[in-house]
Structure 1
Amino acid sequence: DLALLLARSLRPATVTGIDLSEGMLEVARRKASADTGAAASGTKMTFLAADCLHLPMPDGTYDIVTAAYGVRNFEHLLRGYREMYRVLRPGGTLCVIELSTPTSPLVKPLYRFYTRHIIPLAGRIVSRDVRAYSYLPESIAAVPQGESMLALMREAGFSATEHHPLTFGVCTIYIARK
């Protein structure tokens, strides 16, 4: 979805979508072929199965690298950031959108109830899998957040790092430059 939004909004020459799952890539290809706005943008869309810790691109390939709701699932987050840094051109931008834990004493209890009870229940109902979506709050809590995430990005080589919490802190946009 992010690749299609980028094609429609920014109209770049190319967009490369990457995922480990060939099934998810097939969904992306179907969506891209049905998205008239992305098709009208003139953007060449490519979807590749690849591991974000070992990207099959040469150094300095991209102007922008994005990751939406996925870095918390990287086996080694610092290695993932180093790999993103490697494939960015000098002056390029990294934009990461990730779920986060709110810090507000008013929002935090509601968030905890929602992520620990409502989301797993909905996941069980939809997928009929007892474990479905119960990993979500665990993975959100385990990933570095805020200044800790920015420190990791800087350790990977990025500069001009910033973060912008959204929706009472349940989501954060991280920006960094090469």
Structure 2
Amino acid sequence: MSEDIYDPQFVKGVFDRCSSQYITFSWICSFGFTERWRRQCVKSMPAPTGPDPEGYDLMAGTGEVWPHLLKRFPDIGAITAVDISSGMHHRAMERLHAHRAHKIAFVEDDVLASDLPKESADFIISTFGLKTFNGKQHAKLAKLTARCLKPGGVFCMIEASDPKGWWLRPLYLFHLKVMLPLIERVLLRGAQDFARIGTYSTNFGDASAFAEMLRAEGLDVEFKRFFFGCATAVAGRKPAAFARP
């Protein structure tokens, strides 16, 4: 039987094993673009309204978006990081964000199975977590986003994407499908988990289908492309006078 790479426990295993070297490997293998795209994700998110806004970082990983989020919105009251991988969160708090711990709580859970309260978030952000879901799971995530946002709440989610139509797309895909596994075999002694992340990325396509799912849930959504479509994002707001579609 073939393995289900979208099974939550499979995803957890991949990222638990990746966690100790994830930050360095992802930065080097993306030529620093992942960090640039995190900044652009935060910049693309509409400003939360109200004092001391609180929200979620879904599929939070190592929390590398938190410095950008707190720099742009220093009045944020709290961030709840939700991720299935305890290894990724421990890495975040040990290396990057211990001095921000008073503003950050962690929920170790499958996001789609979590019991996040209805209308509890002024904002929702996610960077590079969408690829770990298939289409049915994306539909569940769209429903969760609409349910958890307060009326007037804002969101932005970004993911590495397939730049269809770009003349350098074959080189980009060669980098994901050939070079990343090769680098991993040479530098990480045969590990396969980072190569699996490349598989998730190429399977994902782009965020346009997810944008339509969010619109179907009644959210105002803008679809964004970065660097010829090598990353795509969805950003928007839950209408203040929200009615379920």
* TM-score bracket relative to the smaller structure: 0.7 to 0.9
Task: Determine whether 1:66 maps to 2:125.
Answer: yes
Q: Secondary structure of the equivalent of 1:53?
A: helix
Task: Determine whether 1:55 maps to 2:114.
Answer: yes
Q: How far apart are the structure 1 equivalents of 2:82 and 2:204?
A: 21
Q: Give the drift of 1:20.
A: 0.6
Q: Secondary structure of the equivalent of 1:15?
A: strand
Where does 1:134-153 land on structure 2 (aligned, <5 Å)? 134-143=195-204, 145-153=206-214
Task: Determine whether 1:123 maps to 2:160.
Answer: no
Aligned match of 1:90: 151
Question: Is 2:223–2:235's contact at 8 Å kept on the other side of the alignment?
Answer: yes
Where does 1:1-178 land on structure 2 (aligned, <5 Å)? 1-11=64-74, 12-30=76-94, 31-34=96-99, 38=100, 44-74=103-133, 76-143=137-204, 145-155=206-216, 157-178=217-238
Question: Is 1:3–1:16's contact at 8 Å kept on the other side of the alignment?
Answer: no
> Moved runs in structure 1, 4+ residues, more than 4 A?
none
- Larger strand percent: 1
RMSD: 2.1
Matched residues, number:
171
Q: How far apart are the structure 2 equivalents of 1:144 and 1:83?
A: 22
Q: Secondary structure of the equivalent of 1:128?
A: coil
Q: Give the drift of 1:176.
A: 3.0
Q: How far apart are the structure 2 equivalents of 1:144 and 1:158?
A: 23
Query: Which ranges of structure 2 fall in alignment gaps of 5 or more residues?
Result: 1-63, 239-245
Q: How far apart are the structure 2 equivalents of 1:20 and 1:129?
A: 24
Q: How far apart are the structure 2 equivalents of 1:129 and 1:93?
A: 42
**TM-score of the two chains, using structure 2 as the length reference:** 0.63
Q: Secondary structure of the equivalent of 2:194?
A: coil
Change (3 A) 1:105 1:144: closer
Identity of aligned residues (%): 24
Change (3 A) 1:73 1:153: same
Q: Secondary structure of the equivalent of 1:104?
A: coil
Query: Which ranges of structure 1 fall in alignment gaps of 5 or more residues?
Result: none
Question: Is 1:123–1:133's contact at 8 Å kept on the other side of the alignment?
Answer: yes
Q: Give the drift of 1:73.
A: 0.5
Q: How far apart are the structure 2 equivalents of 1:158 and 1:98?
A: 22
Q: How far apart are the structure 2 equivalents of 1:110 and 1:144?
A: 16
Change (3 A) 1:127 1:81: farther
Q: Give the drift of 1:144.
A: 5.1
